[in-house]
């Protein structure tokens, strides 16, 4: 009877693990799509921008103020 319980537990664990992996793949796919769209949009807008326009700074400030816990939209500066 213990062997049957172990087999049952292993099957359930596999179902859970497989579902988690599938969910992570879907989330990653959606994040990639989002970043692609953002990059495409910003690329087009940057062609229209005048030197000195701070539209990326404005977007970063607006996004981070609306959801302060979301670090993915803050502009990174390197010196």
Q: Which of 6-10, 39-43, 61-65, 73-77 has the weakest average pLDDT?
A: 73-77
How many Å apart are CA 43 and CA 39, to the nearest integer? 6
> Does residue 16 surpass a pLDDT of 60?
yes
pLDDT digits (tens, 9 = 90+) for 27-51: 999 999 999 998 998 888 888 877 6
Q: 78 or 2, which is more confident? A: 2
Q: 75 or 53, which is more confident? A: 53
Question: In the chain, how long is the greatest CA-to-CA distance?
Answer: 75
Overall pTM > 0.75: no
């Amino acid at each position: 009877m213990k062997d049957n319980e172990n087999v049952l537990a292993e099957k359930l664990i596999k179902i859970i693990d497989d579902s988690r992996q599938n969910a992570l793949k879907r989330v990653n796919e959606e994040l990639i799509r989002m970043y692609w769209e953002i990059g495409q949009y910003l690329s087009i807008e940057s062609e229209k921008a005048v030197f000195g326009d701070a539209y990326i700074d404005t977007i970063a400030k607006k996004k981070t103020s609306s959801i302060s816990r979301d670090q993915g939209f803050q502009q990174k500066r390197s010196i």
